Amino acid sequence: MLSSLFLLCGSTLAADIQPPRTFKEAKKIAWKLYAGHEKTFYCGCEYKGNRVDLESCGYQPRKNANRAGRIEWEHVVPAWVIGHQRQCWQNGGRKNCTANDPVFSKAEADLHNLVPSIGEVNGDRSNFALGMLSDKPSQYGACPMVVNFKQKTAMPPERTRGAAARIYLYMADRYRLRLSKLDRRVYEAWSRQYPVSEWERWRNQANACAMGWGNPYVGEINLARCRQTLGRR
């Protein structure tokens, strides 16, 4: 079923859509796609331009107030994770992968894997896996994101666990990324426990109009609806 949905990218409509070639291009598109839907992924803070309204979600900086005040585009599946499964990283790190590995470049620029995040949260999460923790949320004020630096694990708020899980499962399928048995069990459980939201459906359709295909774990997309969306880019 999943492979047949991925074949959408071979359709006539999809052929007219040119996905971003680089992370830089992807970020430029993402700013436009999220216009009118300006809320950070984990904490639900409102933002305008590059500036985060921390009071809108009760966010309190843990350590870096300057970085907490700005938006950064986070890879839900970190670029580090993607790269460490490819030879290019061993021969020169992310810079080498971006320049010389077409598969890595496509994964790095995949809009389905990018979300607007508070800069401090993005920095704290780093390349940590998403998973369950026993810690109680306390690091970021009213934002219930948890980062355990010793365990190198981040636990997203309940409202984003399903979406994050479906992104992980999609990326693993599309780019043949290895997931540990534990991580796969967690993400499959989150996907079942936290159903697809209307916001996810909107995001999947918007990203499909920029990429040429959707995330099958979220649901079907309609590329015929893309002309209006693409016209706004």
The length of the chain in residues reads: 233
What percent of the chain shows pLDDT beyond 90? Answer: 85
CA 3 – CA 183 distance, rounded (Å): 22
Asked if residues 42 and 118 have their Cβ atoms less than 8 Å apart, the reply is: yes
Higher pLDDT, 213 or 4: 213
Residue type, 214: G
Whole-number pLDDT of residue 172: 97
- Structure confidence at residue 226 (pLDDT): 86
Q: What is the pLDDT of residue 16?
A: 78
Closest C-alpha among 29, 11, 24, 2 to residue 212: 11
CB atoms within 10 A of CB 74: 21
pLDDT at 233: 38
Strand order in the sheet with 146-148: 129-130, 153-155, 146-148
Instruction: Report residue 58 CA to chain centroid gap.
Output: 23
Mean pLDDT score of the chain, rounded to an integer? Answer: 91
Among 19-28, 180-189, 223-232, which stretch is predicted with the lowest mean pLDDT? 223-232
Residues 37, 138: Cα–Cα separation, whole Å: 26
Neighbour-count burial of 151, counting CB atoms closer than 10 A to its CB (0-12 exposed, 13-18 middle, 19+ buried)? middle
Q: Is the pLDDT of residue 1 over 50?
A: no
**Paired sense of beta strands 114-118 and 71-75, if any:** antiparallel
Indicate left, alpha or beta for 60 from its phi (over 0: left) and psi (-120 to 50: alpha). beta
Residue 197 gets which letter from DSSP? P
90-146 pLDDT, tens digit per residue, is 889 999 999 999 999 999 999 999 999 999 999 999 999 999 999 999 999 999 999
Q: How far is CA 31 from CA 27, 75, 85, 220, in A?
A: 6, 15, 29, 23
Q: Which of 111, 112, 117 is nearest to 47 (CA)?
A: 117
Query: What pLDDT score was predicted for residue 225?
Result: 85
pLDDT of residue 231 exceeding 50, the answer is no
Residue 17's pLDDT is: 84
Q: Per the confidence metrics, is the pTM higher than 0.75?
A: yes
Torsion of CA 33, 38, 42, 44, to 10 degrees: -150
Backbone angles phi, psi at 84, to 5 degrees: -70, -5
pLDDT, one tens digit per residue, over 5-36 is 333 333 546 667 889 999 999 999 999 999 99
